[in-house]
Amino acid sequence: MKSKSLWAGFLLLTFVITLPVSWGMLAKVNFLYPVLHDVVGIDKHIEIYAPKNRKNKLGFEKTSKEERARLFLGIVDAIHNHGEGLSALSYTATSNQQGTTQLMPLLTEPEIVHLKDVAVLLDKIKPLMLILITVWLFVVIVLKMKKVGMPDAVQFLWSALLLISLCGLLLLLGPEKIFNQLHIWAFPDEHQWFFFYEDSLMSTMMKAPVIFAYITGIWIILSIVLTSIILKLFSLPILLGAYKKAHA
């Protein structure tokens, strides 16, 4: 029973520590925004809502997919760098009448405040993850000292299916409900975090919260894959030891 408890704790901790790793991997590829731009239908979404912008940020519907990906990457870089550079994000707006172009700021002040809140949250999570990694290493040592073997293939499969099912259950609750509740918990009450498409090019170019459901799904799948790889590597010495004994 104790061995099973240690295994369950190890499995859960391994999954948790892979979350920031997979997050970092996705950040390096701009959270696949260029791909999701087409999959989610962001182009048509922008065509509908960008011309209706009530903050006098015009011409965004004429931007290219590449420019939107650049702006999204700018936001990604900023929230991982204490919110620096948010005010400088801008796009090229073209006038319908004269055909002239001008640089237009992408974000409004409430959006900048919100994204800085996101940056603060990410900064707070970093030391927590270091603590969890330390706990994970302690569990590894305990498992090694107690010589607790990894579960067989069937046990591992059931554990993986359980983990996937729990993540799937969260997604079934609805990405919008989860999105809203997490924001209520995470951010100051006096700071705006919900933005109508007509008031926010940021929300429009992300088709929020729809894009976050896709990103979360990819994030979880990648974390499960990394968890599986770590568990496989962890069990390798045990498998090699069993092989040597069998052929001694």
Quote the radius of gyration of the chain (alpha carbons, Å): 23
pLDDT at 75: 98
Distance set, CA 59 to CA 66, 103, 108 (Å)? 15, 10, 16
The answer to whether 60 and 89 are in contact (CB under 8 A) is no
Q: How far apart are CA 31 and CA 75, in angstroms?
A: 11
How high is the pLDDT of residue 120?
94
The structural domain count of the chain equals 1
> Which segments of the chain have a pLDDT < 50?
238-247
**pLDDT value at position 33?**
98
* Residue 21 CB contacts under 8 Å (≥ 6 apart), including other chains: 223, 226
What is the predicted pLDDT for the residue at 239? 41
Quote the domain boundaries for residue 206: 2-246
Please tell me what DSSP assigns to residue 151. Answer: P
